[in-house]
Copies of this chain bind each other. A is one copy, B any other.
Amino acid sequence: MLSKSLLDGYWRFRRENHAADKGRYEQLAKLGQAPTALVIACCDSRVDVSAIFDAGPGDLFIVRNVANLVPPFEPDGRFHGTSAAVEYGAEVLNVPNIIVLGHSHCGGIAAYREKLQGKPDGTNFIGTWLTQLDGLEVKDEDIRTFGQETAFELAGIRQSLANLRMFDTVRDREAEGILALHGLHFDIGSGLILAHDPETDAFAPLPETVEA
């Protein structure tokens, strides 16, 4: 049986949120989805992706895994969940945007840092999953500007952006101008988002308006 808080939460959703937006949900059920972005985010409970973009039903196609990682392109890898989602988002849903959304206090990235410091690495799946980060290139400049913890998280975002570009379908669409890649880092405490600038390879706070 579901716990009371989850069950009550569902009935509040059903009677208020879903009821108020019922027409939109029925329309989406009948016509299908055409989300504006694919977001690769962490499983972390403090990162509510829809809330962060104030997005409604149908707006965001969201993959969530530990540490918001995109594995390198490996067509023979088994059960590549994130790669399948990237393919689905790009080729089936034709999303115009892919966002890698990292965040502060990331337990996955922290586990990788601890491994570097000689702590025993996670056994089984977590450890294997995080081997993707082996050899992560952390920038000295980021360490100086943002501190070591954040610098590792930013490096993870850069690596996922690079891995996304190993997919032909991503690279081709980006070259054609119909797909844009974004690297963002969300600070849980302050709400600040740093955005990756592809020209300088640096991260800086999101501006308030779209620049010309």
Residues of A within 8 A of B (CB): 1-14, 17-38, 43-46, 48, 50-66, 69, 71, 74-75, 77-89, 92-97, 99, 104-105, 107-108, 122, 124-126, 128-130, 132, 173, 177-180, 182, 187-191, 193, 195, 206-211
Minimum CB distance partner of A195 in chain B = B2
CB-CB under 8 A from A45, the residues of chain B are 33, 35, 57-62
Partner of A6, one of B36, B51, B191: B36
- Whether B125 pairs with A95 at a CB distance below 8 angstroms is no
CA distance A24 to B37 in the complex (A): 9
Can you sample 14 A-B contacts with CB below 8 Å? A2-B195, A4-B56, A6-B37, A10-B53, A13-B191, A17-B51, A19-B177, A25-B46, A43-B62, A65-B82, A66-B81, A80-B129, A81-B129, A88-B107
- Whether A126 pairs with B26 at a CB distance below 8 angstroms is no
- Whether A10 pairs with B193 at a CB distance below 8 angstroms is yes
- Whether A23 pairs with B97 at a CB distance below 8 angstroms is yes
Copies in the assembly, this chain: 4
CA distance A11 to B12 in the complex (A): 12
Partner of A29, one of B64, B69, B78, B189: B189
Partner of A94, one of B23, B74, B206: B23
- Whether A64 pairs with B62 at a CB distance below 8 angstroms is yes
- Whether B188 pairs with A28 at a CB distance below 8 angstroms is yes
- Whether A21 pairs with B66 at a CB distance below 8 angstroms is no
Query: Chain B nearest CB: distance from A61 CB in Å?
Result: 5
Partner of A58, one of B14, B25, B34, B182: B34
CA distance A129 to B190 in the complex (A): 33
CB-CB under 8 A from A23, the residues of chain B are 94-97, 173, 177-180
